[in-house]
Amino acid sequence: MSNCYDIAVCGGGIAGISAALAAAREGKKVVLFEKEYMLGGLATAGLITIYLPLCDGYGHQVSFGIAEELLKLSITYGAEDKYPENWLDGLGTKTEKDKRYQVQYNAQTFAIVAEKLLLENNVDIMYGSYAIDAKADDGKIRSLSVVNKSGIREYTVKSVVDATGDCDIAHFVGAPTVTFRQGNVLAAWYYFTDEKGYNLQMLGASDVPENERTGNEETPLIKRRFTGLDGKELSEMVCLSHQKLLNHWLDKKANNKNAVISTIPTIPQIRMTRKIVGEYELSYTEEHKYFEDSIGMVSNWKKRGPVYEVPFRTLYYKNMKNLIVAGRCTSVDETLWDVMRVIPCCAVTGQAAGTAAALTDDFSSLDIKLLQDKLIANGVVLHEKCL
């Protein structure tokens, strides 16, 4: 296999899958480096199996394109729980209070069908491959260092999509990034099976940004918080998570002898770590705001109503010309971070990043209209006024 590619996508979570798919569909030679041996990241290996809504909660779909394609793909062989009959079957009013365009899927089948989709689109998937460094000169990344079973290899690339979730590549080349100030609470999501079937247990409440707290929040599993960026800390976090889920399951088992732990996460369940300081920082207060350079829209999973157009400028830093980020590390303020990190938003930014990477190796000088035309041709709706 040659070590030269048009586009390297680092990280095979939802953002990386979307980016690789979009770039490959534009006919580019794409390699995807994923340190695990499955696709999906948190959404599969991390057992986060709820594909949050593509709609605003009032009956309007706002996220389209690959975000919708992957939602449907995730339930190819059946949904696990919240099957949105009123959306997918054209039944219902789409405005019923408890119905949003979201699904719960099976992590393992989603990972396999996503892999099949990328292979069918000629993406070179490199599993067990950790991007550990990048060399840049003259404001461009020239090569990536990747370690896997073969040792350390250098890959020459024209552009790079950083879909590591942690902005690793941006960090390697010294692009400006910021870390999550308040730190992550411990999570311990897992599955057990019993005579009733396969049960997702969501231990570790979703956190609330400091400035939004009312005092009525669920108590975290433990007081300690985690940056997600330190090897020792992450290992300790995973061990604590294992102990929590074991104890939780033992409690279940005391009353239900058929309860068996069936799946535990194989990557750390960490929400927010490091993000790029892009050319624009989208703020939580900018709901319903028109952006000329919108690359798609997302809703707020936490409440009905808000819709955000996502500016292309939140995906790059102009002095690292051929680097673009996607997923849970784009340029948003601390409060919006908790909204933009979820699965549909990662697919929206992933599709845009992959499409842009297929068009240029200098993102700051890209003709935005060209990108938008491609996105529209591939099903994306850019502006709220177009709904």
Binding site for ligand FAD (CB under 6 A): 10-16, 33-36, 41-43, 48, 50-52, 130-131, 163-166, 168, 187, 189, 204, 267, 269-271, 327-328, 341-343, 346
CB of 181 to ligand FAD, least distance (A): 17
Q: Which is nearer to ligand FAD, 102 or 294 (CB)?
A: 102
Compute the least distance from the CB of residue 117 to ligand FAD, in Å: 15
Residue 50 or 113: which CB sits closer to ligand FAD? 50
Q: Would you say 204 and 221 are in contact if contact means Cβ atoms under 8 Å apart?
A: yes
**Shortest approach of ligand FAD to residue 20 CB, angstroms?**
11
- Which is nearer to ligand FAD, 135 or 383 (by Cβ)? 135
Q: Which residue is it, tokens 């599709």?
A: 351
Smallest gap, in angstroms, from Cβ of residue 365 to ligand FAD?
26
**CB of residue 6 vs ligand FAD: minimum separation in angstroms?**
18
Q: Which is nearer to ligand FAD, 204 or 311 (CB)?
A: 204
Find out whether 54 and 297 touch, Cβ atoms under 8 Å: no
Contact 198, 261 (CB under 8 A): no
CB of 64 to ligand FAD, least distance (A): 16
Nearer Cβ to ligand FAD, position 202 or 376?
202
**Residue among 220, 221, 210 nearest 182 (CA):** 210
Closer of 206 and 256 to ligand FAD (Cβ) = 206
> Least CB distance from residue 135 to ligand FAD, whole Å?
15
- How far is Cα 293 from Cα 270, in angstroms, rounded to an integer? 30
119 C-beta neighbours (distance < 10 Å), count: 11
| Residue 107 CB, nearest approach to ligand FAD (Å) | 11
Residue 189 token pair: 């999501």
Between 91 and 119, CB nearer to ligand FAD: 119
- Which residue, 109 or 256, is less far from ligand FAD as judged by CB? 109
Q: Residue 374 Cβ, how far from ligand FAD at the closest point, in Å?
A: 21
CB 144 within 8 A of CB 168: no
* Shortest distance in whole angstroms from residue 354 CB to ligand FAD: 12
Q: Given the complex with ligand FAD, which of 48 and 371 has the nearer CB atom? A: 48
Cβ atoms of residues 58 and 305 within 8 Å = yes
- Nearer to ligand FAD among residue 229 and residue 376 (C-beta): 229
